[in-house]
Copies of this chain bind each other. A is one copy, B any other.
């Protein structure tokens, strides 16, 4: 049936000889990156990330990709390749790995360690099967595919790009990347891309996070030099706030501190865990005495200390936020402390970062952030880097991924600007679009894979649906108003005074008059209706009470709490 419907709708020959590429997440958002590459009987998945909740998904922990398409094709999944250890690439693994049949995960040493560390929080999950890979290593998977890997620069060590070799040509997925440059601004470490460019590269899946940013990203080297300069010129105490995922940056700062004769306090659960893993695997080899537990921070003079903390986004319970709010057990702001916010502002966090800065400044701290000095660089390629990558890889077809639609479209415009024909570029309109190529042309077919949000809330995965979210939004607006009345099933009369429970609507103690009038409406409505019914149609009476009470409350307050009447027959 599906084949027929599909043949009917697509212009490409639907004879199983096409490569299918399906972004299951990451093309309508920043986050939950996951893309399916399917050829004949073989499926390879690249990445399985999560997304943080949005304003319209209150109370949700995470949003993960919808894997229904894969669930019905589990038997053909040959592997899940993970490009690096950030949550928007690995975060969904614990929630979906069983649903897709626990396939082999191919990734590098550090990423593997980070995945396994996180999996410890899911004791009921399956034992993961992870095969460690290295750049340059080739692996045959399934009947028709080979995997090959190449090193890539991002803000975390051990990131890899993937080549999926198919009989029609390569599908190339660099994942998140930036291109390093030397002090003159010339790109370095690009030989392997140029070599790769000589192969038969059919499709490039290119990230679009910074497709709107002109020029080149600031190099991490510049950031390191600036941080070193600031640290060396500061005589007081320094507290650096950054992302726990920027492992390379944290290592850099710790190394600078070591050189400057400052002890390093690492604070924040995830940052400590990441640094431990990096140390264990020898990605970082500090002298033993350089680290100091936070509880000993006051034992050292200000110029002998540097603290590196989570919380630069103003996350509620992260280290820097607790410090700013005077809730940190060991670290207090002293007048004259220098705070370096070595991070960008993730959209949506503006207000909490403002709050963070305000509270730190109120206590007399000096704040250096990315707008006043280059103390942060993005790990994602800017326009010139994206174009350079396209030129080096020389793919026949381009599919922009990772970003909101407008970012993907801007990335596609970049491709056009360097001469890639528009018909060779497919911008995924939505998650779940199915893109097919027979090697000569590429297009989105009419069939789609399911792509609605799968939400993680506490222990539930996918059980919070539209209706529950809509209710939460409504409750957040004007609260709830529950009416409980006991009705005499013989006479239709309300016994005693109806109970009213309300939360988030008005302060009841100050609204006695409103409550009194509401009770009268309930009694009157019930008695006028139910009194004439034998037997009483409870559903009808309830609905009428709901209507009348909602109308009355709106009239009196111009608010619309959720009104829920309960009628108990005795």
Q: Which residue numbers of A lie inside 8 Å of B, CB to CB?
A: 28, 54-55, 58-59, 212, 347-348, 350-351, 354, 357-359, 361-362, 367, 371, 404-406, 409, 429, 457-460, 463-465, 467-469, 471-480, 482, 484, 486, 499, 501, 503-507, 510-511, 556-559, 562, 564, 566, 568, 570
Contact = CB atoms under 8 A, between A and B. Distances in A.
A506 B475 contact: no
Contacts of A458: 557-559
Contacts of A409: 361
A54 B511 CA distance: 25
Nearest to A486: B568
Contacts of A359: 405
Contacts of A371: 212
Contacts of A59: 476-479, 504, 559
Report, nearest first, the 5 A-B pairs whose CB atoms are least far apart: A458-B558, A476-B476, A475-B475, A347-B350, A471-B504
Given A354-B347, A484-B566, A476 B479 contact: no
Contacts of A557: 457-460
A347 B357 CA distance: 15
B503 A459 contact: no
Given A468-B505, A475-B504, 6 more contacts: A347-B351, A354-B406, A460-B559, A463-B511, A471-B479, A482-B482
A49 B426 CA distance: 48
Interface of A is mostly: mixed
Given A59-B478, A564-B501, A429 B484 contact: no
Given A59-B476, A347-B350, A564-B501, A405 B361 contact: yes
Given A351-B348, A409-B361, A476-B58, A507 B463 contact: yes
A68 B366 CA distance: 34
Given A406-B358, A463-B510, A54 B351 contact: yes
Contact of A354 (B404, B484, B556, B566): B404
Nearest to A213: B371
A357 B459 contact: no
Contacts of A501: 482, 564, 566
B460 A506 contact: yes
A477 B406 CA distance: 30
10 contacts: A59-B477, A348-B348, A357-B405, A358-B405, A362-B429, A457-B559, A459-B556, A459-B558, A499-B566, A503-B564
A409 B366 CA distance: 10
Contact of A507 (B468, B473, B477): B468
Nearest to A509: B467
Given A404-B358, A406-B361, A409-B361, A503 B347 contact: no
A479 B472 contact: yes
